[in-house]
């Protein structure tokens, strides 16, 4: 579904990614783990068009997207819930959610999707007319995901959804991510690319995993296999 091939990204003189390649298959949760500054967010930003790669190519369902502006990539179905949540804090929860459906014009389907998002995140229903800036961190993360879902993503890019959240809320969020990915009768079957520092949680729900270190992929494989490997356990899972 998504093919990232040898992508390099530079911010001025600093090279953030050198030749990153990864593949996301339809229906999977793929996770990209690594420490701070490894280039995880940059990879997502390159996929959603927010930064332009200096080399390499990105294909979504066979279409080259690395030269497209971000708003066109969203229309293809690649939707990101940005890092730091990127919610519109002076707007209400409702307005935030509606902006997620910005690329769509089918009013009834939008209303139905809004209802679905509320079922997924009952907390948001309680806060629907509050300013998004007054929500707690966990609620803001829920809002960011709900907003991204409103665009009916075929590929959902999640940037550190657990960042700065209490363990219990992290559990809730990951449960929802798994539900979103579940095949149709239960979930939406959304393909997800998940960037995480919390390797334990990420590897637990992902099908496939990549490890990013200083701008390059150093390991990859089925998530369970990576979780069992000594190197990953030592570096990311706190094991000995």
Give residues in contact with other proteins (CB under 8 A).
Answer: 48-50, 69-71, 74-75, 79-82, 86-91, 95, 98-100, 102-103, 147, 151
Nearer to other proteins, 155 or 203 (CB): 155
Q: How far is the CB of 49 from other proteins (least distance, A)?
A: 8
Nearer to other proteins, 107 or 240 (CB): 107
Q: How far is the CB of 221 from other proteins (least distance, A)?
A: 30
Q: How far is the CB of 195 from other proteins (least distance, A)?
A: 14
Q: The tokens of 216 are what?
A: 């390059």
Q: How far is the CB of 94 from other proteins (least distance, A)?
A: 11
Nearer to other proteins, 74 or 199 (CB): 74
Q: How far is the CB of 220 from other proteins (least distance, A)?
A: 26
Counting Cα atoms < 13 Å in the Cβ hemisphere of 99 gives: 16
Nearer to other proteins, 3 or 98 (CB): 98
For 171-215, the DSSP string reads HHHHHHHHHHHS-TTTS---EEEEEES-HHHHHHH-SEEEEEETT
Residue 173 CA to residue 160 CA, distance in Å, equals: 11
Q: The tokens of 32 are what?
A: 């990209």
Nearer to other proteins, 130 or 218 (CB): 130
Q: Do residues 131 and 168 touch, judged by C-beta distance below 8 A? A: no
Residue 184 CA to residue 190 CA, distance in Å, equals: 9
Nearer to other proteins, 61 or 98 (CB): 98
Give SS3 for 101.
Answer: coil
Backbone angles phi, psi at 222, to 5 degrees: -55, 140
Measuring CA to CA, how many Å separate 131 from each of 92, 140, 164? 4, 11, 20
* CA triple 175-179-102, angle to 5 deg: 105
Q: How far is the CB of 90 from other proteins (least distance, A)?
A: 5
């Amino acid at each position: 579904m998504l093919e990232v091939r040898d992508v390099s990204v530079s911010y001025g003189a600093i090279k953030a990614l050198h030749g990153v390649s990864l593949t996301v298959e339809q229906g999977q949760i793929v996770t990209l783990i690594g420490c701070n500054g490894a280039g995880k967010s940059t990879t997502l930003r390159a996929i959603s068009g927010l930064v332009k790669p200096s080399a390499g190519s990105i294909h979504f369902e066979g279409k080259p997207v690395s030269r497209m502006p971000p708003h066109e990539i969203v229309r293809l179905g690649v939707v990101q819930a940005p890092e730091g949540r990127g919610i519109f804090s002076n707007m209400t929860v409702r307005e935030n959610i509606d902006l997620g459906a910005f690329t769509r014009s089918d009013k009834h389907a939008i209303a139905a999707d809004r209802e679905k998002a509320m079922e997924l995140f009952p907390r948001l229903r309680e806060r629907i007319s509050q300013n998004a800036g007054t929500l707690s961190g966990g609620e803001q993360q829920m809002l960011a995901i709900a907003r991204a879902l409103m665009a009916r993503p075929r590929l959902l890019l999640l940037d550190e959804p657990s960042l700065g959240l209490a363990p219990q809320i992290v559990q809730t969020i990951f449960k929802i991510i798994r539900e979103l990915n579940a095949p149709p009768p239960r979930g939406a079957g959304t393909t997800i690319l998940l960037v995480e520092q919390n390797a334990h949680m990420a590897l637990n729900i992902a099908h496939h995993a990549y490890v990013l270190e200083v701008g390059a992929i150093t390991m990859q494989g089925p998530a369970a296999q990576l979780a069992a490997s000594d190197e990953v356990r030592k570096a990311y899972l706190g094991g000995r």
